[in-house]
Amino acid sequence: MTPANRVAELRRELNRHNHLYYVLNSPEISDREFDMLLKELEQLEKEHPELDDPLSPTHRVGSDLSQTFEQVEHQRAMLSLANTYSTDEVDKWVGQVRALLGDQPDIVIDGEMKFDGTSISLIYENGRLVRAVTRGDGTRGDVVTENVKTIRSIPLVIPEETGRPDSFEIRGEILLPWEAFDRLNRRRELDGEPLFANPRNAASGTLKLQNSAEAAERGLDAYFYYVLSDNLPFATHFDNIKAAESWGFKMTPVLRRLSSIAEVEEFISYWDVERKRLPVATDGLVFKVDSLHQQLNLGFTAKSPRWAIAYKFPAERALTRLRSVSFEVGRMGIITPVANLEPVLLSGTIVKRASMHNEDIVRKLDIHNGDMLYVEKGGEIIPKITGVDLKQRQPDARPVSFVTRCPACGTPLVKVEGEAATVCPNKYGCPPQIVGRIEHFVGRRMMNIDGIGEETARQLYDAGLVHSSADIYDLRPQQLMPLEGFGPRSANRVVEGAEESKKVPFQRVIYALSIPGVGETTAKKIARAVGNIDKLMALTSEQLQAIEDVGPAIADSIVEYFADSRNLENLMRLRAAGLQMEVEQTDEQQGSDALAGQSIVISGTFARHSRDEYKALIELHGGKNVGSISKKTTAILAGENMGPSKLEKANSLGIPLLSEEDFLKIIGE
C-alpha cells in the first residue's frame, strides 16, 4: 500500500472512531488503540509533508500560535428567536402561523431543545469544513475556524457517499458540558484565576481564545439544529435534521413532530424535568414549522423568523439567607446594592451574590438583615432577588439601610431626579468611576486595547500610571514591567494595542469616551450626523436633539460633558495621540442627493450589505429610513424573505419595490 493510500485509510478510520466516541457514545476500540492509529498517521505525515492536510485528525489538538479573528458577513442573517413563556403564548403563535398561511395544508410543528451555549455557523464546500463563524451581531461574526476544528464531535471532512450537498451551511450551539465546565473552574481556582459564571460564558470565552491548543484542552462540544443549502435533500426540517445526523453531525437529540397543542403541552411538561439530566446547559425549547416551503412563505420580521419561536422555561427559584449587603460603585457613579448570600445551587451553578439594583427595590421588597430571600436566575444566567420569606424573619431584624456616602470615596450621595438611581457625584476623584471608565475605554467594542482588563485597569490606576484614558497612550514597556504579572511580552502587548487602537473609527471613539447616555448605537448615529469631534463639541442641546435617538436628556448630557475642562483636556490629548476624530470618507462613502425626499422601508435579507449598512447608505444619499409602510412611503428596499404582510400592504398602496441591485444602481454603487 502506498503512503498516500495508507494516510487516506487512517484518516477515514480515525474520523469514524471520533464519530463513534464523541457523537454516538459507542466506541469500538480502546483509547490506546486509537492513539496508536493517530501516531502512525502523525509519523506518515511527518515523513511525507506533501500529504499533510489542515483537516487531518492530527490537527485536532490546535496550534499554539496566536491568532486574531477576522470578521465576515453571514451568507444568511443569523436572527434571534422571539420568546414565549407559556403554552398559551405558543398556542397563539401556532394560530398566527395558520392565519398567515391561509389555505395551506395541515401544519406540522417540530419541537426541539434550546441549548444554552454560543451560536455558530459552519460552512462546508465539497464536504470540507471551510469556515466557522460566530453569530456576532446577526449580520457579521468572527471567524473561529481554528478553534472549532479542535471540537472532536464536529466532522471536518464528510464523504460524498453520505449524500450531503456539495455546498451547505449548518447552524448550532457550541457548548461546554457540565463536567468539562466543573473541571475548568477547578483548574482556574487552583491557578488563582476568576471562575466562569456559567457554561455559556465559558464556551463563548473558549471559542475566542487566541491559542487553539488551549481551546482544545477545554473539551468543547456542539449540537446542531438547522441546515441551509440550495440543494437540501428533503422538503422538511425534520428530515433534513435526520439527514445531517447521517452525515456525521451531533444533531439535537430532542426532536419530535407535534400535531396538536396537547402534544406541545406534553412535550413542554416532559422536558421541563428531563432536561436536567442532559450533560449540557439548556434554557428552553424551540418550536419550528416543519415544511421548508411554509417557512419560506412565512418569512421574517426585522428581528426573527415567523416560522419559529422559543419557549423559555420558568426560572428556577431557591431560598437562602442574606449574610450582608455591600454597595458597589459603577463607572457612571451609580451605587448598586449587592446581596451577599449563603451559597445556594441554582440552575447548575452556585450563587453567592445577587444584585438588588437600587434603593427603591430594596424598600419595595422590604428586605431586612438576615432575611431568607427567594433567588431566581433571569434567563437562567443573572441571579436576582424576587421576594422574602416573612415567616422566617427574626423578630429583632432591622431593615437594610442604604448608604448615604460613597463607599469608595466618602462623598455624600445624591438621588437622580425622576430616577431610582443613587449616584456619587465625585466623577473625577472616585477610584471605581475612574477605573470603570478606563476599563470601558479599552473594551473590545470601544478602543479594543489588548492586555488591559478589569484587574489591569485597577493595577495601572493604583500604580499612578493611568488616571484618564489619554494616559494609556503615554505608557512605555519599562513602566509596566515592574508591575506584578507583567513581563516584556505583556508590557509590549499593551503598548502595541494602544498604538493599534489609533485606527479605530470615530463612532467607537465617541462610545469609548463614557459620555452618560451615549451607547454604541447612539454613538454611531451621532458620528454619522456630525462628521467630526469639533462639530460635536460646538452643537447646542437643541441642535443635538435633531439627531435620531438623541433626546433632551442625552443632549444635555453631551453638552455638560464637553463643558467640563477635564474632559476637554483629556480629549485634546487623545487627539494629539492620533485617535480618529472624524468620520473617514472613502470614495465609496461620498454622499449624494440621489434619494432626496424619499422615505424608504427596508425589508428582508441581503447579500451585498447588512440592513444597518443599507440604513446608513439611505441617509448618506439624502433619503430617510422609516420602519413601517404608510402612504408616505416612497419605496421599499426588498431583500430575500420579505415579510408577506409588508408585501401585501405595499401592493395595496402601490408602493414600488426596489431590489438590492436596483437600489445600488440608483446610488451609483
Residues forming the active site: 114
Between the alpha carbon of residue 178 and those of residues 119, 175, 218, 284, the distances in Å are: 18, 9, 12, 17
DSSP class of 111: E
Report the alpha-carbon distance of residue 159 to residue 591 in Å, rounded.
50
Distance of CA 287 to the CA centre of its chain: 22
Q: How far is CA 130 from the centre of its chain?
A: 22
Residue 163 to residues 19, 132, 210, 403, 427, Cα–Cα distance (Å): 17, 22, 35, 67, 63
Where on the phi/psi map is residue 521: left (φ > 0), alpha (ψ -120 to 50), or beta?
A: alpha
Residue 52: alpha-carbon gap to chain centroid: 35
Distances (CA, A) of 592 to 199, 520, 548, 551, 622: 49, 26, 20, 27, 6
Q: What is the C-alpha separation between 421 and 427, in angstroms, rounded?
A: 15
Distance from C-alpha of 512 to C-alpha of 439, rounded to nearest angstrom:
10
Q: Which of the 8 DSSP states describes residue 411?
A: P
**DSSP letters of 256-282?**
EEE-SHHHHHHHHHHHHHHGGGSSS-E
Helix runs in 50-149, H state only: 87-101, 145-148
| Total Cβ atoms within 10 A of residue 311 | 24
Assess contact for 476 and 490: CB atoms under 8 A.
no
Is the Cα dihedral 387, 392, 398, 400 positive or negative? negative
C-beta of residue 115 within 8 angstroms of C-beta of residue 175: yes
- Which cell is 143 given? 471567524
**Nearest to 195, CA basis, from 314, 12, 350:** 350
**DSSP code per residue over 366-378:** T-BTT-EEEEEEE
- Cα distance between residue 450 and residue 246, in whole Å: 42
In 3D, which of 605, 588, 575 has the Cα closest to residue 664? 588
Parallel, antiparallel or unpaired: strands 657-658 and 635-638: parallel
Which cell is 72 given?
465576515
Inter-axis angle of helices 431-442 and 454-462, nearest 10:
130
Indicate the length of the chain as a whole number.
Answer: 669
Residue 429, all three cell numbers: 476623584
DSSP letter (8 states) at residue 117 = S
Q: Name residues whose C-beta falls within 8 Å of residue 202's C-beta, 6 or more positions apart in sequence.
A: 176, 181, 184, 185, 196, 218
Secondary-structure percent of the chain, ordered helix, strand, coil, rounded to 5: 40, 20, 40
DSSP H helices, 428-544, are 431-442, 454-462, 477-480, 488-500, 506-512, 520-530, 533-538, 541-544
Q: How far is the C-alpha of 448 from the C-alpha of 580, rounded, in Å? A: 14
Cα angle value 599/602/607 (rounded, 5°): 135
The grid cell for 101 is 398561511
Residue 636, all three cell numbers: 421599499
